[in-house]
């Protein structure tokens, strides 16, 4: 019998060398041999483990994703387009100060603050920035500290690494704000429940973010240089509804960049992602943008409630007056599903082009019902 290949070598061959790494940080903090440098995953030393968690929990390694969906969500809630749906709403924070600080409606921060107040979580892991202007996961234990992290920069943050780095014997209940790939990694941990990975029991809430792509830090640096901007000057980014531009907010004002220039900076791995709505989260939040009502919807979020935990939190937020909620018109859900399907089909085409086979779908299984529907 031949020697088994180490998980680290498989991760390098199947993910890193295939440009599939999302920079989520799932393989970092589990062992000392994986490290994040800027927005890249680096292997510092060789490891001979053949059943390493670095490979098992990576969102771009093969797994029974249909089985994970069935373990974590009610079968009657599952949709092929956007995953489990218990409810779909438009929402925004009732606190006008929070709305002014937030990316859009402030729903995510409002829910995190409420979850802390209600004792659902003791701390929240969010995306922050270090002194070198690199994104990193931050564990925030004071609810008053959450509002400083309410803006987005469209750059990947190794958020799962921050979760992995928490003390294993801590009694703290943790909430995580996650992109689709990060939520998938955490879902793989939940579904696996390995005996030596009980830390996942600390995870009590995952709030997912709608995400079409993130930007390569190196390529974004070059783009900013063209517009005479720097990372240090950035205060946020946004894609205005109905406009084909990226607005970059800095200390000197707002710079509009055409999307074709932005597209050249998108991380390669994002082109192979079939999830735009964080389907493996307890609830998912994105900007409300659809139809001819873009101006009216500015400052509101779309919220997909996926799990009982997510439903309870949203209902508590409404009863406490923390969120203002509107029932979304039926066409808005259909438009969201349509956009999600387009993302799935495009990513699957990219995967087939890369693998040159409809049977070898890299990290996806050809018999997965969602894949079969849209391939």
Question: How does pLDDT run across 137-164, given as a tens digit for each residue?
Answer: 899 999 989 988 877 778 888 999 999 9
Residue 327 is predicted with a pLDDT of 85
pLDDT tens-digit readout, 113-124: 999 999 999 999
Lowest mean pLDDT among 144-148, 314-318, 340-344: 144-148
Residue 299 is predicted with a pLDDT of 83
pLDDT tens-digit readout, 164-196: 988 877 789 999 999 999 999 999 999 986 555
Go through 300-337 and write b for each residue having 16 or more CB atoms within 10 A of its CB, e for each that does not: bbbbbbbbebbeebbebbeeeebbbbeebeeebbeebb
> Which residues, other chains included, contact 358 with Cβ-Cβ below 8 Å and sequence gap of 6+?
352, 366, 375
3-state secondary structure of 47: coil
3-state secondary structure of 233: helix
Residue 154 is predicted with a pLDDT of 84
Of 241, 183, 172, residue with least CA distance to 208: 183
Lowest mean pLDDT among 19-23, 26-30, 320-324: 26-30
217-263, what's its fold?
Nuclear Transport Factor 2; Chain: A, (3.10.450)
Q: Within 13 Å and on the Cβ side, how many CA atoms surround 84?
A: 25
pLDDT tens-digit readout, 57-95: 999 999 999 999 999 999 999 999 999 999 999 999 999
Distance CA 271, CA 253 (A): 31
- Where do the structural domains in the chain lie, given as residue ranges? 7-214+267-374, 217-263
The answer to whether 299 and 104 have CB atoms below 8 angstroms apart is yes
pLDDT tens-digit readout, 305-315: 999 999 999 99
Q: What band does 372 get if pLDDT is binned at 50, 70 and 90?
A: very high
Q: Give the tokens for residue 318.
A: 């409404």
pLDDT tens-digit readout, 282-294: 999 998 876 555 5
Distance CA 219, CA 360 (A): 30
């Amino acid at each position: 019998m031949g020697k088994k290949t180490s998980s680290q070598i498989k991760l390098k061959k199947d993910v890193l060398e295939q440009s599939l790494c999302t920079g989520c940080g799932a393989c970092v903090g589990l062992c000392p041999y994986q490290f994040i440098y800027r927005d890249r995953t680096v292997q510092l030393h060789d490891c001979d483990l053949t059943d390493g968690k670095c490979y098992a929990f990576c969102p771009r390694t093969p797994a029974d994703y249909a089985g994970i969906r069935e373990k974590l969500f009610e079968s009657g809630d599952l949709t092929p387009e956007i995953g489990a749906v218990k409810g779909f709403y438009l929402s925004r924070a009732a606190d006008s100060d929070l709305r002014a600080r937030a990316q859009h409606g402030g729903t995510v921060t409002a829910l995190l603050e409420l979850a802390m107040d209600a004792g659902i979580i003791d701390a929240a892991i969010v995306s922050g920035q270090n002194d070198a202007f690199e994104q990193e996961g931050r564990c925030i234990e004071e609810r008053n500290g959450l509002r400083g992290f309410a803006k987005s920069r469209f750059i990947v943050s190794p958020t799962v690494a921050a979760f992995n780095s928490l003390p294993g014997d801590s009694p703290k209940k943790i909430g995580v704000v996650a992109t689709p790939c990060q939520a998938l990694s955490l879902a793989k941990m939940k579904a696996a429940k390995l005996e030596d990975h009980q830390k996942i029991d600390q995870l009590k809430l995952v709030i997912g973010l709608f995400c079409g792509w993130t930007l390569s830090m190196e390529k974004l640096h070059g783009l900013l240089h063209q517009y005479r901007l720097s990372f240090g000057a950035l205060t946020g980014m946004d894609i205005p509804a109905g406009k084909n531009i990226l607005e970059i907010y800095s200390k000197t004002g707002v710079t509009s960049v055409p999307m074709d220039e932005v597209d050249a900076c998108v991380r390669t791995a994002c082109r192979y992602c079939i999830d735009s709505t964080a389907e493996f989260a307890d609830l998912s939040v994105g900007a409300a943008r659809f139809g001819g009502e873009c101006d009216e919807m500015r400052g509101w979020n779309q919220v997909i409630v996926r799990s009982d935990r997510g439903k309870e939190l949203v209902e508590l937020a409404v009863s406490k007056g923390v969120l203002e909620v509107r029932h979304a018109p039926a066409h808005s859900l259909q438009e969201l599903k349509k956009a999600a399907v387009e993302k799935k089909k495009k990513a699957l085409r990219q995967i087939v082009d890369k693998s040159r086979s409809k049977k070898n779908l890299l990290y996806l299984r050809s018999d997965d019902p969602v894949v079969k529907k849209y391939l």
